[in-house]
Structure 1
Amino acid sequence: MTKPPKPKPLLQDADKPVRSRPSKPRDPAQPNLPLDPMPDRIEPCLALLKARPPKGDDWVYEIKWDGYRLSVHIEPTRIRILTRGGHDWSDRFPAIKQAALWLPVGTAILDGEAVVLDEKGRSDFGLLQQSLGGRGGKKMSSDAIFMAFDLLYFDGHDLRKSELDVRRHLLEDLVPAGGLGDIRLSEEIEADGDQLLASACEHGLEGIIAKRRDAPYRSGRLGDWLKIKCIQSDSFVIIGYERSTAARAGIGRLLLAARKGKKFVYVGGVGTGFNERNAYELREKLDGLLTSTPAAAVDRKAAIFVKPKLIAEIEYRAWTDDAKLRHASYKGLRDKQDNAVVYAMNDADEGS
């Protein structure tokens, strides 16, 4: 665990630390400032996938982080860390929780991503999964850090109606750029979108995020935030596997499906990306879900079918002409508490 960072005074004189309560009695002649109730939970703003970065000065850019979306609630008597699905994972990220206690603020809600960085400083979803003990695991991650990219509530004031530029200004005072603690700032990058995307791809990053600088914070996938990926990475449900005597844990290939309406559609398989540890954990989970009824039509004679309960994060390069994943690689299982959404097929995928 890192040492506590030296608190940076926030919107006050350098010798006056921030307090959530006044340091002296309020002058009764002064009116009370209205305070907004602190939300128990806020549905996250989600990024809409686009092929190319948007143009114009209305947009700002950040690196796309590959981890678990979280909100950190700094409350008067406790710290809560909530997943995208609203589950309390405060005890699973002790370093992030401790770092939140050190922030110079009384009450706040930070929006961001829990990530584990590789040796080159890139976020790695597989490493994050391992640090938490895999899907359904109960381990505490001492390696995960929190990349903060928005501030939704600040010392009694709900900021969701404020423009992104205003929210970022307050966030950057609270979590200064360049810090190396367990809560860090996901910094905005001044650059041309196309050039930034090319640079991100060259350095092996997943992609970039574009945000409309004058937009309020709106829950859902409404287009205020956009994601542009170097390599496609989406969630698919596992509907079966094929055995192999040579492969680890006997898994030669996972069979994957996407949603189409209310049904599942087979989109091919993945046979790479496993290591010895996650392959045996995966085989144990699959063998507990065996079924004779496939969740989607699959023309694979050696297939062993499982109930569609496990969601895998899959990295891939493109779609084939018959709507199958091309150059797919397994990255890990999504936890049900992460509220991951299974990829939804559309006519463009089937005609690609």
Structure 2
Amino acid sequence: MNKRSQPLLSDEQSLRSRARKRRDPAQPNLLLDQMPDRIEPALALLKARPPSDSRYIAEVKFDGYRGAIHVEPGGVRFLTRGGHDWTERFPGIADAARDLGVASAILDGEAVVLDEQGRSDFGALQRSLGGRGGKLPSGNSVFYAFDLLYLDGHDLQKMELSSRRHLLEELLDGREGAIRFSEQIDGDAVSIFNAACEHGLEGVIFKDPDSPYRSGRTGDWIKVKCIQSESFFVVGYEKSAVARGGVGSLLLAARKGGVLQYVGSVGTGFKYKDAVELRDMLDKLAMKKPLITYDGRRKNVVWAQPTLIAEVEYRAWTYDGKLRHASYKGLRVVQDNAAVYEIEG
């Protein structure tokens, strides 16, 4: 039996969530709303520092796969951020969804695998699925639900976030299985963020409690990261006779106004096995000319179709729009291309 993970931020007394009163069950009789087949997810806007607005609620930023659980009369579905059905890859989460005791619901959240300290580990999640492109069922994944968009015939998207979360908390009722409630962290925003970074977490999400659910990056949700990490297309690699696996570095691109823009390279973070697999995949995607404007400073480059998506940590951006101190974390799946970083302006 796996060792149970420790609660996040458990030793920060000032950051404990408050006990909440149960919501009044007396609700007005409303006409039933048709259940959406899919809802485009609300996305958090990246900011350099926590918000000054004291109304904002805070939650841990998880490092996994964003998804929506659809509980329907005909069964349960797990839809990825891009709308792909991954129900078979998360059987434990699907089973837990069937046991929620509701006729219909849509839960927004993130599927993760936790390490021994209770932190989400993207690499461990990938391995549990069988690696990049893997379709193995992840037996130890957990779904942290942070929003409720539909419940028993009622569309909740126009309801304020605080009320949606009260309903979600009641629905999950303290469950500690494969579906769990993403707890609010109490305290001032700066202290919460500093504590999250001290605990080795990726960052914190701050949300406007009075906001409806709006798809896209509207600014209702804000993310502040302890470690900068984003997804980029791999557009080629630099051959090396001395580097492990023959890969000196991966060349990366982001989206900008409907085209791809070169953002630099990453030459650390991958092991020998990773490098060999990357080289084999990129050789099969090889192209004679790049699909980006390139500065021409690197030699022995193998250009590739922008199919592979790498998750990369980095410290900052240079003045000319390149990544500084980048480190490779792993590959995301092709269907996750909605997560590729987009340069504003």
Q: Which residue does the alignment assign to 2:268?
A: 272
Q: Which residue does the alignment assign to 1:233?
A: 229
* Cα offset, 1:136, TM superposition: 2.2
Query: 2: CA distance between counterparts of 1:119 and 1:240?
Result: 36
* Correspondence 1:309-320 to 2 at 5 A: 309-320=307-318
- From 51, 58, 63, the counterpart of 1:66: 63
The runs of 5 or more residues in structure 1 that have no matched partner are 3-9, 14-30, 348-352
Compare 87-96 and 296-305 and name the one that shifted more.
296-305
1:53 matched to 2:50: yes
Query: 1: CA distance between counterparts of 2:272 and 2:143?
Result: 28
| Per-residue Cα deviation, 1:193-226 (whole angstroms, up to 9, x for no partner) | 1111111111111110011001111111111111
* Correspondence 1:1-352 to 2 at 5 A: 33-177=30-174, 179-296=175-292, 297=294, 298-346=296-344
8 Å Cα contact 1:240-1:303 kept in structure 2: yes
* Cα offset, 1:32, TM superposition: 7.3
Query: 2: CA distance between counterparts of 1:85 and 1:278?
Result: 26
What RMSD in Å do the two structures reach over aligned CA positions? Answer: 2.2
Compare 244-253 and 103-112 and name the one that shifted more.
244-253
Compare 138-147 and 298-307 and name the one that shifted more.
298-307
What code does the residue aligned with 2:317 have?
W
Q: Percentage identity across aligned positions?
A: 61
| Per-residue Cα deviation, 1:237-289 (whole angstroms, up to 9, x for no partner) | 11111223444432221111223334333222111221344333322211111
Q: Which residue does the alignment assign to 2:16?
A: none
* Cα offset, 1:333, TM superposition: 1.5
What code does the residue aligned with 2:205 have?
I
What code does the residue aligned with 2:142 have?
I
Q: Which residue does the alignment assign to 1:24?
A: none
Q: What is the count of residue pairs matched by the alignment?
A: 322
What code does the residue aligned with 2:97 have?
A
Q: TM-score, normalised by structure 2?
A: 0.87
* Cα offset, 1:69, TM superposition: 0.7
Larger Rg: 1
Query: 2: CA distance between counterparts of 1:121 and 1:279?
Result: 29
Q: Which residue does the alignment assign to 2:15?
A: none
* Cα offset, 1:302, TM superposition: 2.1
Q: Which residue does the alignment assign to 1:5?
A: none
* Cα offset, 1:164, TM superposition: 0.7
Query: 2: CA distance between counterparts of 1:241 and 1:98?
Result: 42
Structure 2 residue matching 1:168: 3-state secondary structure: helix
8 Å Cα contact 2:54-2:188 kept in structure 1: no
* Cα offset, 1:141, TM superposition: 1.0
Query: 2: CA distance between counterparts of 1:77 and 1:115?
Result: 26
Query: 2: CA distance between counterparts of 1:99 and 1:134?
Result: 24
Query: 2: CA distance between counterparts of 1:301 and 1:52?
Result: 39
The runs of 5 or more residues in structure 2 that have no matched partner are 3-21
What code does the residue aligned with 2:216 have?
G
Query: 2: CA distance between counterparts of 1:263 and 1:109?
Result: 34
Structure 2 residue matching 1:35: 3-state secondary structure: coil
What code does the residue aligned with 1:265 have?
Q
Compare 309-318 and 296-305 and name the one that shifted more.
296-305
Structure 2 residue matching 1:130: 3-state secondary structure: helix
8 Å Cα contact 1:62-1:210 kept in structure 2: yes
